[in-house]
Chains A and B, each alone.
Chain A
Amino acid sequence: MKTDIILAGVGGQGILSIATAIGVAALKNGLHVKQAETHGMSQRGGAVVSHMRISDKAIFSDLIPEGKADLILSIEPMEALRYLPYLSETGYIVTNTTPFKNINNYPELEAVLNKLGSLKRVVAIDADGIAEKIGSKLSSNMVMLGAASPFIESIELSSLEQGIIELFTSKGQKVVDVNLSALRSGKEFAEKTLN
Chain B
Amino acid sequence: MQKVLLGVEAIAQGAIDGGMSGVYAYPGTPSTEITEYIQHNKYAQEKKLHSMWSANEKTAMESALGMAYAGKRSMVCMKHVGLNVAADCFMNAAITGVNGGMLVTVADDPSMHSSQNEQDSRFFGKFAQIPVLEPSNQQEAYNMGYYGFQLSEKFGIPVMIRITTRLAHSRSIVELKEVIKENDLKLPSDPTQFILLPSIARKQYKKLLANQVNFEKDSEESQFNEYFDGADKSKGIIACGITYNYLMENYPNGCPFPVLRVGQYPLPRKQIIQLTNETDSILVLEEGFPIVEESIKGYLEKENVSGRLDGTLPRDGELNPDIIGKCLGLKVQKGDDIPELVENRPPALCIGCSHHDVYKALNEVVAEFGQGRVFSDIGCYTLGALEPYKSINSCVDMGASITMAKGAADAGLIPAVSVIGDSTFTHSGMTGLLDAVIEKTPITVIISDNESTSMTGGQESSAVGKLEDICKGIGVDPNHIHVIIPVPKNHEELKNLIRDEMNYNGVSVIIPRRVCVQKNRRDIKIRKAQNA
Contact B29 A65 (CB under 8 A): no
Check A46–B342 contact: CB distance below 8 A: no
Asked whether any CB of chain B lies closer than 8 Å to the CB of A63, the reply is: yes
**Residues A62 and B242 in contact in the complex (CB < 8 Å), given A42-B113, A78-B343:** yes
- Of the candidates A47, A61, A119, the one whose C-beta lies within 8 Å of that of B345 is A47
Q: How far is the CB of B385 from chain A (nearest CB, A)?
A: 12
In the bound assembly, the distance between CA atoms of A39 and B107 in angstroms comes to 13
Interface string of B158-195 (1 = CB under 8 A from A): 00000000110111110000000000000000000000
CA distance A111 to B341 in the complex (A): 8
**B-contact 0/1 string along A91-102, CB 8 Å cutoff:** 100000000001
Is the C-beta of B33 less than 8 angstroms from some C-beta in chain A?
A: yes
Chain B, range 332-349, C-beta contacts under 8 Å to A: 332-339, 341-349
Q: Is B200 an interface residue (CB 8 A)?
A: no
Q: Which one, A10, A23, A44, A103, contacts B171 given CB within 8 A? A: A23
Neighbour of A41 across the interface among B245, B333, B339, B455, CB < 8 A: B455
Q: Does B4 have its Cβ within 8 Å of any Cβ on chain A?
A: yes
Which residues from B are CB-within-8-Å of A14? none
B216 interfacial by beta-carbon distance below 8 Å: no
Q: How would you classify the secondary structure of chain B's contact residues: helix, strand, loop or mixed?
A: loop
Interface flags for B132-149 (1: CB within 8 Å of A; 0: not) read 000000000000000000
A29-37, A127-135, A143-151, A152-160 - interface stretch: A29-37
Binary flags per residue of B235-247, CB closer than 8 Å to A gives 1, else 0: 0000000100110
Verify B4–A39 contact, CB threshold 8 A: no
**Does B325 interact with chain A (Cβ within 8 Å)?**
yes
Contact A115 B341 (CB under 8 A): yes
The answer on a CB contact under 8 Å between A106 and B343 is: yes
Report yes or no: B345 in contact with A33, Cβ–Cβ below 8 A. no
Q: Give complex CA distance A60, B350 in Å.
A: 37
Additional 19 contacts, C-beta under 8 A, given A39-B29, A45-B348: A11-B347, A33-B4, A34-B170, A41-B29, A41-B455, A44-B383, A45-B350, A51-B170, A59-B172, A61-B321, A62-B170, A67-B333, A78-B341, A79-B345, A81-B342, A85-B337, A91-B335, A107-B341, A107-B342
Which residues does A use to contact B, with CB under 8 Å?
A: 10-11, 23, 27, 32-47, 51, 59-63, 65-69, 78-79, 81-82, 84-89, 91, 102-107, 111-112, 115, 119
The 5 closest A-B pairs by CB, nearest first: A40-B114, A40-B29, A67-B333, A61-B249, A46-B347
What are 24 inter-chain pairs, A to B, with CB distance below 8 A? A11-B347, A34-B171, A34-B172, A36-B170, A36-B171, A38-B113, A39-B29, A41-B347, A44-B348, A44-B380, A46-B346, A46-B347, A60-B245, A61-B248, A63-B321, A65-B249, A65-B321, A78-B341, A81-B342, A89-B335, A102-B348, A105-B343, A107-B341, A112-B341
